A and B are shown apart, each in its own frame.
Chain A
Amino acid sequence: MKLVFSWLKEFVDIDIEPERLAELLTLKGLEVSDCYPVGKGLDKIIAGRIVDIKRHPKSDRLYVCDVDTGASLIPVVCSAPNLKKDMITALALPGTRLPNGMEIKEVEIRGVKSKGVLLAEDELGLTDDHSGIIELSSNIAPGTSLTEALSVEDWVLDIELTPNRGDCASVLGIAREVSAITGTPLKMPSIEYKELDEEADQVSSVIINEPEKCRRYSAGIIKDVNIRSSPFWMRYRLYLADIRAINNIVDITNYVMLELGQPLHAFDMDRLKGPKIIVRCAKEGEEFTTLDGVTHKLFPEVLLICDAERAVALAGIMGGLNSEIEEDTKNVFLEAAFFDPVTIRRGAKLLGISTEASYRFERGVDIEAVTVALRRAISLMYKLADGKPLKGIIDNYPIPYRPFSITMSVKKANRFLGTSLSKEKIKGYLSALKMEVKDIDEDKIGVIPPSFRMDISREADLFEEIARLDGYENIPVTLPYIRPSEQEEAQELRFEQDIRNIMVGMGFTEIITYSFISPEFRNSIGIPGNFVTIINPLTKDQSVMRTSLVPGVLEAIKTNISYNEYNLRLFEIGKVFIKRGEEELPEERSFLCAGVTGLWDIKSWYGRERKADFYDVKGAVETLLRSISSKPFSFEKKDAPSWYEQGEYASVCVDSYVLGHIGKVSSDVLKRLDIEQDVYLLELDLVGLSRYFVEPRRFKAYSRFPAVYRDISIIVKKEVESRRIEQIIKRIGGDILEAVHLFDLYEGGKLASDEKAFGFRIWFRSMKGTLEKKEVDKIYDEIIKTIIDETGGRLREA
């Protein structure tokens, strides 16, 4: 909300600089996000009097004026439609720089010299008005600087109001705060006007069908107004507050709203049908055209102001086109009401309209001050629009405001805040905020909040007011004793952090991608499942919750490749969302997904380059799993999810559970994503792992005796898996087998094309004593024999 400093000063004396005030307000909870001077740079521009106006000899649009500068008479060429003889206006002489940076020069316009420029308000940087040159008060002497003539130098404070402080959405509201903070008394604007004898409530009446939704409706009737543009000072303040000037009547309603916080609406009374105003709810499907020309289909939740025949305004939101003030309006029906905040908010939301009025009604206006604002506006219409108010006002107030008292304990306040404020001090703060305070007993006080503080109803609300006025900075800093708790920690975060550490240790870089993905991306990868869908996504690309981390990882790979980063090892740890019932929370499950592409080893002075392949991601899984538990796991050939290449895929299994996948991304998927290099993925279900795989480590005693090894080189058919031979070695090796290590895999050469040779080194060691050669040889021979028997292999000759 934009607050004009000079306006504020009409309500409360302020003897500090605007910037200091901004800081003070911020520290008291009214955050000033910006504070800037306005109306600067006009000291070189002077008032000039138009002495004579002649037509330009060569133009129909242009005039040549003789302008009195106070020192001399100069010719000025001008096209303004509002030129008048003896008019005092703004004049910039050659050499002057305008607030918008333009420099004025002496020029010749179609053969006529122009020694200056007459200026409109927008050229002066004052308002956006360009309808004509500015008209200054006739008693200003030519030659007076505009800074002096207009007193436009001012400051604007931009205040970010929190939703609870609707009472501060006005000059008066801020002034009340300043008054409470500084102890300076509040001043109220004058309300003076002469009334006609005819009584307002004899001419019209208000019927409220929904007293809960419209708790007060007051109105005044002003006759014979003259519609014109508002005086400069009013338009200037509206402009500074970001409100467009329309005409004097509409401007006054806006001006009083900004000033007192009470939205007002002026109807053209002659366009209202019948003598009555009715406040009722809209009917389903009823249509209404607001004054911006938009026709809305209404809902029963929307409250309407109606005349005898039809709706004339959306209560508290916007007036209707059928009854708005026009150029020829004579008689005004002026509304000031209190509408229920929830009703207005619901209506505004349903219709998708938000106005200055609805903003204030949603936050609650001062129900007791509704008629104050009404009279203030009437007085301005009397003064600025030549209006003749009827006697009195109409005031239908079916549910009057009932003040209530809050009992507050001073001891509790001090304990809660950690302060030691005296009862008197606390009473002083609350009184300064216009609360009525009474002693109940030694400790307790009774506090009646003012009608405009709709945010205060409980002890805690009072504690905040006390802390705020005393100053948060004055509350002593203490440290609590935090009692240790037996409740459990979130183990899954610790587990995820362990995984993260290992992945980074293995050279993988962590990424974080959005939890929502594009349905098309999902389709192009072929991820199945029931998706959790966002009904109001920002873009369609972010409209379904992921059920897999794969899209994010592939996307990141694609992005990096597009920046010429071809060798990547990326991973993400995050949740996927699996839909359950329509209104049920989805299952959220943590996953790890890693993607590898490009070279695993780059070419170096000590080694050759090597492309990443299946065994790199497999190795990563092996190292990762071995790091977190010593429980066995295996890789099995199973049906691959659709985004893998069936032939280069394995499931990661623990017991009978599939807890992850490794493999090569299918060429179809890569083609659809425009990725032109092989990508290998690793996916692990972290919830499954922590549940079925992680188990406490147990120490196993190991042998103190020496170990011996034997090497085996055996030729088998290509389809024989290394694991099969390893299992035979382990089975036959029994107790004394310590370890098996595959040190060689050989194909080609003297071998047949369907053959390969494995080289295993087998380590033996006994818990019971030093192994004898005989013993080892016997088992070794047995191993060879079994392998040959079971796999059809043969020993490879040395």
Chain B
Amino acid sequence: MVTPLGLGVTANTEGFRTGQTAFRPVTVFDVSRQRVRTAAQVDLPDALPVTALAPRQARRLDRAGRMLLRAAHEATQQAKWDAQVPAAFVVGTTGGSMSLGETYFRTALHEPLVCREQPTRTIGYQAYRQTALVAQACGIRGPVNVIANACASGANAVGHAWELVRTGQAERVLAAGYDAISQLIFAGFDSLQALSPTQCRPFDAHRDGLALGEGAAALTLETLEAAQARGATILAEITGYGAATDLHHLTQPHPTGDAAFATMMEACHLAGLEPRDLDYVNAHGTGTPLNDSAEAAAITRWAGADAAKLAVSSTKAGIGHLLGAAGAVEAAVCVLALRGQWLPPMPATQTPDAACGFRLVTQPEAARLTNVMTNSFGFGGANATLILRRWT
């Protein structure tokens, strides 16, 4: 994984366990005229790990693609996947290589007679092209699918990968989510006044918006038989996935969170679990007034009589909203929490919203975790929920 907390799982684990935050002034593009000027930006080195890509191919990866490559490389190396065994690649993203598209447009507009590098930018801008390069880099030989379901993309990618394995359509799938902050998207959220001018405080009664971040996470999914046959270390098991569409509005959830309720119910049904069996929910929890209200209503309704005992937090409090990467990163955080037996806190949340019928985790905490859930909800009403179980 690559997040504003660091590069790689080891660098990230302690940060998520202790609720560190990673917000700083944006430096990758000009924000001097924006209302908000901070985000959780990754400290991304230019150098890349050695992979099957030739140097000139690696140079075609933009910032987002380089984060995806790092995450995918780490995952496949850790899993010790043999490049000779076919695997599918399912990736979620919101913006893909938006930065290349922005550069193309600026050049086309301000230097209309310039052709140099424009063809390269045209090809490089395609998210599918970037993901195919990463697939080649990691020795992934199989179909590539890019799911662009806004902020649920990463969760949809993991869920779809799980379904491919579960239904026998693939023996192994690399699932990932990635997004880099871009000027267009940053300005977009700022224009909606969705960005917090203070601090991202999910589920806080005084919350005033989200913070943007960037990053990538990749998970290697395979059948139990395949993993055991090669003596792989199994990190966790995905047991449930729900996907639904909120019809209320293009950008706003239904106030009662009906679609979120539906995805949580569907995921539980597939996992064979009741709400009381869940030990923790990694909420979508963006920190916006509308999302957190709707999600609080959905979680409280779904958990019912067990809501008061249910531990809930949002890691967006520390690393911001990673958009298309969020669902995959948050699934990876759930894996870390299951293995380390701790709950990710959100210390900035001081005054819980009265709508939260559940327990908010605001301080580092050890816990006995067996089943955990992660929610992702996006523009366009894309809603997704994943359930993961501790592997012993």
Partners in one complex: no
Which A residues lie at the B interface, using CB under 8 A?
none
Which B residues contact A (CB, under 8 angstroms)? none
